Amino acid sequence: MDLSRFLMRAITANNLVCPIDGNHLTRQAHSLICDRGHNFDIARQGYLNLLVVQHKASRDPGDTKEMVAARRRLLDTGCYEPIATSIANLAAEHLSSMPSPRVTILDAGCGEGYYLDRLLQLSEQWISPIEVALIGLDISKWAIQSAAKRSDRITWIVGSNRRPPFALGSIDLIICAFGFPSFEIFRTILKPWGKIILVDPAPDHLIEMRQLIYPELRQRELQSIESDRTQGFQLIDRRNLTFKSQVSQSGAVQDLFAMTPHYFRSPPEGKATIAGLDRLEFTVDLNLRVLALEAISRKG
């Protein structure tokens, strides 16, 4: 039997709505248009910009072009590959119990698209679900421009987690890795059985770099989700991922530094120390948590 015809197929997302009035967007030639005539052109690189001017907090929000380039170079070395694999495996496990053979996955704060692109590659061997629409959303236009170069089978969108341009109740799974989740908004766009995968730094994440940067280390606190219960979520799965990795060139060390918040927080002495390194072995220490809407959690 040819099992290839049963493997997962990537499909185009069809749950996009106008960021101005919330009406459904339909494709016409190289644009998406709503019933009221609001028109959004598909960029020649293949992505959509659905972050309208009135919803911007600054002229050029999100990561800069330089930060995006540093992150892409670093991630393309493969030093964070176990993170991408863990996210994909966790997604596969939790999607297998969903009632629909067609699902929509949103990477909320996808950056330059590394994790979602790897998920697409790994999901090609899934037998269930049958069809998956993958959406990468980020507020940085530079990040989405870079992400669009990774795959044309993913819907890449410039937009905000606080005003996601998706129909209510249209997302099966949200991935938020090193991001800023908007739980009250996520609840509205998830399906009744929807789930969220959160990926956050644990206490020893990049501890070697932090020891070089700061004269005294503060205990890292895991982002609390206690208040999420009042917003309709329940923690249903929690796992730790810890491994050693390394970068062995000066440029790669600087890229690793530049893609972290420590780049902005560190004192001048710490930056000078990192600038003098041509190799760094470091610990990756993460917490992966899965949240589900409480209604479905109680049934499970």
Collect all residues with Cβ–Cβ distance below 8 Å to 25 and sequence separation of at least 6.
Answer: 16, 17, 18, 32, 33, 34, 40, 165
What SS3 string covers the chain? CCHHHHCCEEECCCCEECCCCCCECEEECCEEECCCCCEEEECCCCCEECCCHHHCCCCCCCCCHHHHHHHHHHHCCCCCHHHHHHHHHHHHHHHCCCCCCEEEEEEECCCCCHHHHHHHHHHCCCCCCCEEEEEEEECCHHHHHHHCCCCCCCEEEECCCCCCCECCCCEEEEEEECCCCCHHHHHHHEEEEEEEEEEEECCCCCHHHHHHHCCCCCCCCCCCCHHHHHHCEEEEEEEEEEEEEEECCHHHHHHHHHCCCHHHHCCHHHHHHHHCCCCEEEEEEEEEEEEEEHHHHHHC
Helices 65-75 and 114-123, axial angle in degrees (round to 10): 40
Domains defined along the chain, listed by start: 3-199+286-299 (3.40.50.150)
Q: Give pLDDT tens digits for 202-235.
A: 999 999 999 999 988 877 767 677 665 547 899 9
**What confidence score (pLDDT) does residue 279 get?**
94
Of 232, 233, 223, 212, nearest to 286 by C-alpha is: 223
How would you write the pLDDT of the chain (300 residues) with one tens digit per residue?
344 455 788 899 999 999 999 999 999 989 999 999 999 999 999 999 999 877 666 677 889 999 999 999 999 999 999 999 999 999 999 998 888 889 999 999 999 999 999 999 999 888 878 899 999 999 999 999 999 999 999 999 999 999 999 999 999 999 999 988 999 999 999 999 999 999 999 999 999 999 999 988 877 767 677 665 547 899 999 999 999 999 998 899 999 999 988 988 899 999 999 999 999 999 999 999 999 987 544 444
Tell me phi and psi for residue 272, to 5 degrees: -65, -40
Q: Taking the CA atoms of the chain, what radius of gyration do you get in angstroms?
A: 20
Instruction: Give the integer Cα–Cα distance in Å for 93 and 40.
Output: 36
